[in-house]
Amino acid sequence: MKTLPLSHLLVASALYVCQTCAVTLTDISQLKELTYDYIIIGAGNAGLVIADRLTENANTSVLVLEAGVSDQGVIPVMAPFLGPSVTPNTPYDWNYTIIPQPGLDGRTFPYPRGRLLGGCTSANYMIHQYGSTDDWAEMAKITGDPGWQWNNVKQYIKRHEKFVAPSDGHNTTGQFIPSLHSFTGELPISLPINNQTIDPRVINTTQQLPEFPFNEDMSGVDGSYLGVGWVQSSMDAGLRGSSSSSYLATSNDRPNLTVMINAMVTKLIQTNSTPAQGLKAFRTVQFADARNATSTTRFQVQANKDIILSAGSIGTPQILQLSGIGDPADLTPLKIPVLVDSPLVGKNMMDHPLLPNIWNVNGNDSFDHILRNANLLQAAISQWATNKTGFIANNVINNFGFGRLNASLLSGLTDPSSGPDSPHFEMIFANFWLNPNVALPPTGSYLTTLTALLTPTSRGTVKIQSTDAFIAPLINPNMLDTEVDIVIMRESVRAIKRFISAPAWKDYVISPFGNLSATADADIDSYVRQHTTTVFHPSSTASMTSETSTNGVVNPDFTVKGVDGLRIVDLSVFPFIPSCHPQGPLYLVAERAADIIKGIVSTR
């Protein structure tokens, strides 16, 4: 978000002293061993969960290789409100750019991914949900594994989630349902602590317009999050909660866990073949110093049991393709030997398109005047650094909502949702200018009502363009490529306009900003294509299918089809994108994956 320049934020970094700094290796010379039971590639959402759970057994050795840097002592990472400034175009970002999108009028823009300990959990907006019962049922159906049904998966909430009281001590009655949550797990989850001017307006609208009912608990633990309610975020006491600050902090002092940053995996190397099973074994990882893209020096480490790819929906298919695992049509032009013919590697990419709908509002109750003033912003950061209070200690949003289209609006089209309890679109309310790709105007106060498509039917790709791992792959989310996608985006705009038409907004909202005022189908569609960006939730580029299926990339036990010694655990394995913010579902998938890898549960 360009309204929070990193240069302003790093000034205060010396004010913050980390309480749980992880001890990590930064150079190959510090590695004491070159062979481990498991090697995990990527210290992100899933990778650090797996590392924590596997090293609970003191006899199991684990090496985590992370291409990025440490997350420690970085103000934008730790201060919740500053999360949007962690990316793009910073040392903590992979700094990708997507190729021009025909569905977005040929536009291209940055595509942030976290390149640091914690991965995207150290760079996202921290919103925490678990998906709908319908989503999990669909995953069980596609994979042929009934263990993915919600009634089974939700058991992992107990050891994952640690719900904590908001640090301002306010009464949370009516903001969440305690009986649905765990208070003893790893990742802190909490409610907003800084009441925004728009909060009562959002909640009052649910009483004024029956179309938008209030939902007391938006996590989805009870199966659905349709309606409007309070955001639950991975934060505690004014600090972001990430896989690094929780799972890694728990396991970091274990002598059987080694974490190395600045380790750029360049490819996996075939170790041998297992003719009896018809599989090719990959248990060697080649990597380079991520700080030196021009060096030709490469290092190797070995896994006795498994390599676990947790490099995310962009990094994972890139590494597979560089290793000769992928679609021959992608590999042969680059003269990469096809070791495993797996056509769907890098295919089936899905993401949530996001549209910032912005309104001109009265007064100075929005945060815009602070975000324009470096001195005011610095004072707020200093307050946070001193006692973890103020708006910097809170997420950027407090309320959101989820809705479905009336069936008549999908006449002649197939409903893309996984079931009646799953939403088609999301509404997010921010009391300031929140447009990831457009800078805050020099004057004015704004309300941003973002709408997101949660059930995209468009499919994109991730494809390497070089044998050099330091050259980013071609990323094509292929947004708004289908009729139903544009219909849902169009109707979500109309829905948010109806929401803002409630009496609760009468004395606050002045007018729509720009061409949000469009009313005809064609004009709204044009507005959507001109302004849509993404929530940056890429998924499904190494999708999971049933063990007997010849489609897909991985089996229900996370093993790569046609390969021995290699598993994938990250958002790329989801057969389809969850209809919610995906960090929560991925945490639960990683928890179950750890049990599967340890042999505690079976997928059959």
What are the structural domain ranges in the chain? 76-112+181-240+350-534
Average pLDDT of the segment spanning 154-175: 97
Strands (E), 379-508: 399-403, 425-430, 446-453, 461-463, 474-476
Active site residue 537: yes
Instruction: Establish how many alpha carbons lie within 13 A of residue 247's alpha carbon, considering only the half-sphere containing its beta carbon.
Output: 33
Report the alpha-carbon distance of residue 334 to residue 110 in Å, rounded.
Answer: 26
Distance of CA 540 to the CA centre of its chain: 12
* 75-103 pLDDT per residue, tens: 999 999 999 999 999 999 999 999 999 99
pTM of the model: 0.96
Q: Given a cut of 60, is residue 376 above it in pLDDT?
A: yes
Share of the chain above pLDDT 70, in %: 96
Q: Given a cut of 90, is residue 23 above it in pLDDT?
A: no
Q: What is the pLDDT of residue 214?
A: 99
Q: What is the pLDDT of residue 365?
A: 87
* 465-499 pLDDT per residue, tens: 999 999 999 999 999 999 999 999 999 999 999 99
Strands (E), 293-395: 299-309, 325-326, 340-341, 353-361
- Active-site residue (options: 160, 181, 424, 537): 537
Split at pLDDT 50, 70, 90, the class of 9 is very low
Average pLDDT of the segment spanning 439-443: 96
Q: Which of 34, 19, 518 is nearest to 300 (CA)?
A: 34
Q: What is the pLDDT of residue 3?
A: 37
Local structure of residue 309 (DSSP, 8 states): E
Residue list for the binding site for FAD = 265, 582-583
Q: Given a cut of 90, is residue 169 above it in pLDDT?
A: yes
* 101-133 pLDDT per residue, tens: 999 999 999 999 999 999 999 999 999 999 999
Average pLDDT of the segment spanning 228-255: 98
Give yes or no for a contact between 117 and 147, defined as CB atoms under 8 angstroms apart. Answer: no
Work out the number of other CB atoms within 10 angstroms of the CB of residue 126.
24
Give yes or no for a contact between 55 and 62, defined as CB atoms under 8 angstroms apart. Answer: yes
- Active-site residue (options: 128, 160, 424, 581): 581
Tokens of 351: 């993401």
* 547-580 pLDDT per residue, tens: 999 999 999 999 999 999 999 999 999 999 999 9
Active site residue 581: yes
Q: What is the pLDDT of residue 12?
A: 42
> 566-568 and 299-309: which strand pairing?
parallel
Report the alpha-carbon distance of residue 450 to residue 426 in Å, rounded.
Answer: 8
Q: Which of 201, 214, 176, 160 is nearest to 586 (CA)?
A: 160
Average pLDDT of the segment spanning 311-324: 99
Q: Given a cut of 60, is residue 381 above it in pLDDT?
A: yes
Topology (CATH) of 76-112+181-240+350-534: Glucose Oxidase; domain 3 (3.30.560)
310 contact partners, CB below 8 Å, separation of at least 6: 40, 41, 42, 43, 44, 45, 46, 47, 50, 316, 568, 569, 570
Q: Which of 426, 433, 397 is nearest to 496 (CA)?
A: 426
- Residue located via tokens 């809705």: 403
Residue list for the binding site = 265, 582-583
Q: Given a cut of 60, is residue 15 above it in pLDDT?
A: no
Q: What is the pLDDT of residue 11?
A: 40
Q: Given a cut of 90, is residue 275 above it in pLDDT?
A: no
